[in-house]
Amino acid sequence: MAERIIIDTDPGQDDAVAILLALASPDEIEVLGITAVAGNVPLALTARNARIVCELAGRPDMKVFAGCDRPLRHDLVTAEHVHGKTGLDGPDLPEPTMELQAAHGVDFIIETLRAEPAGTVTLCPLGPLTNIATAFERAPDIVSRVKRMVLMGGAYFEVGNITPAAEFNIYVDPEAAALVFGAGVPLVVLPLDVTHKALVTKPRNDAFRALGNRAGTAVAQMTDFFERFDLAKYGSDGAPLHDPCVTAYLLRPELFSGRHINVEIETVSPLTRGMTVADWWGVTDRAPNATFIGDLDADGFFSLLTERLARL
Ligand SMILES: [Ca+2]
């Protein structure tokens, strides 16, 4: 039976690929709706980009909701330096014609979790955790109804990308992240430690382009755009596909390995705000609250992604 999910996202080229992978896999994944959050770019753009991606996947019927336009307690930090002015720079994609849903994204999350049988809906956050934390805060009754959360965020061995200590999604709203990590919901975390191993090398990007369909071409162009940032910063072999690791984990968990450990979020120190303090080595007696992924079969990941994008 297909896993029923809500994607909470701030597209973002890598969010776009994560969404495409989910929509290309209807046998295994049923997307109940997509909630946009402010993150890589402001909310108006993430809500627009999410719809562009649905139309690219041939799914203008998908429900897309706008959620929170700023973090719980701080000003929004964005990442146009990585993703470009629109958040989806690279391919030349048409403005969306599908409408944004009238309801607020947080209300959609709350109402869906209340309406569906308990333990059947998975949350897949791909951006700052503002929408999820707001839903949990406003409707504590939904927390125990979540089947599990599989999210992209944080880092331990790779430490930080937006500051020396913090990964972007967690850094943007650490108070939200602390609430979500402490909620007691089964949690799988795809941190930079693994996403930095999902690199789009030239042969892998050529494979996307060679698919010859709109999705494959758009993904190749998105990757071309945002790899210049990582190449300059890390000198790596290509852009890391952060968010698609979440969708790939749903489809093929055996491609990934990690440890069930305690992960806490730093919210106080100005120096390390948003740091994911992951007890990878088990040096505390703090209770495990997350499966923290550390490695993946990158070739398996890219063959899965390429094979699925071909279906769009
Ligand atoms: Ca994202």
d(CA 285, ligand 1 centre) in Å: 32
For 86, phi then psi, to 5°, come to -85, -15
pLDDT, tens only, 15-58: 999 999 999 999 999 999 999 999 999 999 999 999 999 999 99
pLDDT at 226: 81
DSSP 104: B
pLDDT at 234: 74
Tokens 């973002």: give the residue: 12
Per-residue pLDDT, averaged over 199-209, amounts to 94
85 pLDDT exceeds 80? yes
pLDDT at 237: 79
Tokens 């993946």: give the residue: 296
Asked whether the beta carbons of 113 and 145 are under 8 A apart, the reply is yes
Q: Whole-angstrom Cα distance, residue 265 to residue 33? A: 28
Q: Which long-range contacts (CB under 8 A, 24 or more apart) does 231-234 make?
A: 234/196
88 pLDDT exceeds 80? yes
235 pLDDT exceeds 90? no
d(CA 122, ligand 1 centre) in Å: 17
d(CA 246, ligand 1 centre) in Å: 10
Q: Whole-angstrom Cα distance, residue 272 to residue 160? A: 9
Has 242 been annotated as catalytic? Answer: yes
Asked whether the beta carbons of 201 and 302 are under 8 A apart, the reply is no
227 pLDDT exceeds 90? no
Set 74, 83, 196, 242: catalytic member: 242
List the one residue out of 191, 117, 130 whose CA is nearest residue 158.
Answer: 191
pLDDT at 56: 98
Q: Whole-angstrom Cα distance, residue 76 to residue 175? A: 13
Tokens 């991606």: give the residue: 53
Q: Which of 20-34, 151-165, 216-230, 287-301 has the lowest mean pLDDT?
A: 216-230
Q: Is 91 left (phi over 0), alpha (psi -120 to 50) or beta?
A: beta
List the one residue out of 119, 117, 234 whose CA is nearest residue 185.
Answer: 119
pLDDT at 258: 98
pLDDT, tens only, 236-269: 778 899 999 999 999 999 999 999 999 999 999 9
Ion ligand 1 — residues with CB under 5 Å?
10, 12, 15, 126-127, 243
Asked whether the beta carbons of 293 and 190 are under 8 A apart, the reply is yes
Tokens 């071909």: give the residue: 310
Would the pTM of this model clear 0.75, i.e. be above it? yes
For residue 284, what are the CA distances in angstroms to 263, 278, 289?
Answer: 11, 10, 13
74 pLDDT exceeds 80? yes
Helix/strand/coil for 60 = coil
Share of the chain above pLDDT 70, in %: 100
298 pLDDT exceeds 80? yes
d(CA 109, ligand 1 centre) in Å: 18
